[in-house]
Amino acid sequence: MIRAKSRSSDASGCLRRAFAPRTPAGYFADPALRQRLDLLGHLTEYADLLLLIQGEAGVGKTALLEELLTGAGGDWAVCRISATPLTTRDQFLAEVAKQFRLDAGALGGENILGALQVRLQAVHTSGQLALLAVDDAHALAVPVLDEIARLHGLSGPQGHLLRVVLLADPQLQESMQSPPLRQFRQRITHTLDVPPLSEEQTGAYLEFRLRSAGCEEFLPVDELLRRRVYQDTRGVPARIHERAPELLLEHGAPAGPPAVGSGTGAGWRRWARVLGLALLVIVAGAALLFQDRINRWLEMRSMVEEKSGAQSAKVYDVDLDYQIFNAPLELQHLSTPAHTL
């Protein structure tokens, strides 16, 4: 009883690690998600964009941005801000200036924009790409969004000095239909939607997380579990993180032999031996059952060689009741007790 309780506790701990919000598992990207990430990287690097990435809460917008920034390395100078409804215009500008290594307090509010333009021009001249990324942009007030549009408008001899990426829930798109945000909406050059995972992607995501955390006993994820998790979470990763540990424990480890390479080699070898022995018994039984017929098929009762002039031919006697005889090409004469061909 104590042993079973310990095993259950170990499984529960492993699942908590597998579906923790922050995990070293890395970014899950099947071909469709990888294509979206590549498109985002291309737009950021080569377009003078003000990009809106939108999707419902928990769908993976922030994870997408973090993977994009990880791949950029040191070639980008990044200012990243997490917005709140309380963020004012002055606070926002001061934070942007700080992250681009300017002293906003010494500059004063009216001079920050001009100083930022000079700083961004220096970044551009050094060969770096300047990027402003704002998470939860839907929480920002209209004056702050207007300031973002002004920042995006800063330009130099080579064009726009600052790329802007906004991450937002769909409500920002709705808010931009109002007259105060109509001008801001016109400044958005691209919109990238991030939908929830499909049912198939949900199953692959579960296996990715389980395998990364070493929870091999729950692999592979069967169709019933995949469908249940998808129906419960609608493919939203944040909901999967919340619900998957409980649903996996309720469902239990899959029956049958573990997947190859799952780390339970001894169990797999036992199943391989059992299957091999069963196959051997089946083959031996079939051989005993059809032994007489096999012997008759293979039996050739006589073979003589006849000569006719300069030519010779082999003559076989076979039992045609048990054998459909396909004569080889060099065979010139075939005789049986009742037939001569």
pLDDT at 143 over 70: yes
Sequential DSSP letters for 171-233: HHHHHTTSGGGHHHHHH--EEEE-PPPPHHHHHHHHHHHHHHHT-GGGPSPPHHHHHHHHHHH
Q: What percent of the chain has pLDDT over 90?
A: 39
Bridge-partner residues for 302, per DSSP?
Answer: 317
- Work out the mean pLDDT of the chain and round it to a whole number: 78
pLDDT at 205 over 90: yes
What is the tens place of the pLDDT at every residue in 279-306? 776 766 666 666 665 555 445 444 444 4
How far apart (Å, rounded) are the C-alpha atoms in residues 213 and 207?
Answer: 10
Q: What is the model's pLDDT at position 318?
A: 43
Average pLDDT over residues 51-75: 90
Non-local (6+) Cβ contacts of 148 within 8 A are 50, 92, 132, 134, 137, 140, 164, 166, 184
Q: What is the model's pLDDT at position 5?
A: 46
Q: What is the model's pLDDT at position 291?
A: 63
H or E stretch covering 11: helix 2-18
pLDDT at 123 over 90: yes
pLDDT at 62 over 60: yes
Q: Are 54 and 193 in contact (CB under 8 A)?
A: yes
Going by pLDDT thresholds of 50, 70 and 90, the confidence category of residue 233 is: very high
pLDDT higher at 211 or 47: 211
CA angle, 192 as apex, 208 and 42 as ends, to 5°? 85
pLDDT at 17 over 70: yes
pLDDT at 110 over 90: no
Q: What is the model's pLDDT at position 237?
A: 95
Q: What is the model's pLDDT at position 148?
A: 93
Going by pLDDT thresholds of 50, 70 and 90, the confidence category of residue 227 is: very high
What is the tens place of the pLDDT at every residue in 248-275? 998 877 765 544 444 444 444 555 665 6
Q: What is the model's pLDDT at position 305?
A: 45
Going from the C-alpha of 252 to that of each of 8, 81, 260, the distances in angstroms are 10, 42, 19
Bridge-partner residues for 314, per DSSP?
Answer: 305
pLDDT at 180 over 80: yes
Q: What pTM was estimated for this model as a whole? A: 0.68
Average pLDDT over residues 159-186: 88
Q: What is the model's pLDDT at position 107?
A: 74
Q: What percent of the chain has pLDDT over 70?
A: 72
